Amino acid sequence: MTILVVDDERNIADSIAGTLIAELNTDAEVRVCYGSQQAKEFSATHYIDIIVCDIDMPKCNGISLCKSLLLSYPDLKIIFLTGYLSLIHISEPTRR
């Protein structure tokens, strides 16, 4: 199983990945990308089971990223993280 952590803030992405590695009792591979473009490039050559993704990133936000990844990985499990909260962030990803 591959878990991809995506956040444009390196310290946050590394911290989340470190916590997952320390706390999961599994053979999961935890990988980190520091933005949407890097995540798109990674996903072109690696299968992703779970993505832990920041919503608010420059150029391509996490919601747009995950919508595009769902085209290639329809069973992708998504966990969104953000330091900001609004109802639009909550409701938009659930619409198909």
Predicted model pTM: 0.85
User: How would DSSP label each residue in 45-62?
Assistant: TS--SEEEEES--SSS-H
> Which pLDDT tens digit goes with each residue over 25-55?
788 899 999 999 999 999 999 999 999 999 9
Q: What is the pLDDT of residue 25?
A: 75
Exposed e or buried b per residue across 27-51, where buried means at least 16 C-beta atoms within 10 angstroms of its C-beta: eeebebbbbbeebbebbeeeebebb
